[in-house]
A and B are shown apart, each in its own frame.
Chain A
Amino acid sequence: MKKWLQFLVLITSITSTSALLASGGIGEGSEGRSSQMPPVMNAKWKAECSGCHMLYHPGLLPERSWKAVMAGLDKHFGESAGLDAATRDEITSFLVLNSADKSANRRSSRINQSIPTNSTPLRVSETRYFISKHDEISASTFKRKSVGSSANCIACHRGAEKGDFSESQVRIPR
Chain B
Amino acid sequence: MMLEVQGLASRYGRIPALKGVDIQVRQGELVALVGANGAGKTTLLRALSGVQPVSAGRVLFEGRDITAAAPDKRVRLGIVQVPEGRQVFAPLTVEDNLRLGAYLRSKSQAAQTCERVYAMFPVLKSKRREAAGMLSGGQQQMLAIGRALMAEPRLLLLDEPSMGLAPRLVEEIFACVCALKEASTTIFLVDQNARAALAVADRAYVLETGRVVLTGSGAELMENEQVKEAYLGL
Bind each other: no
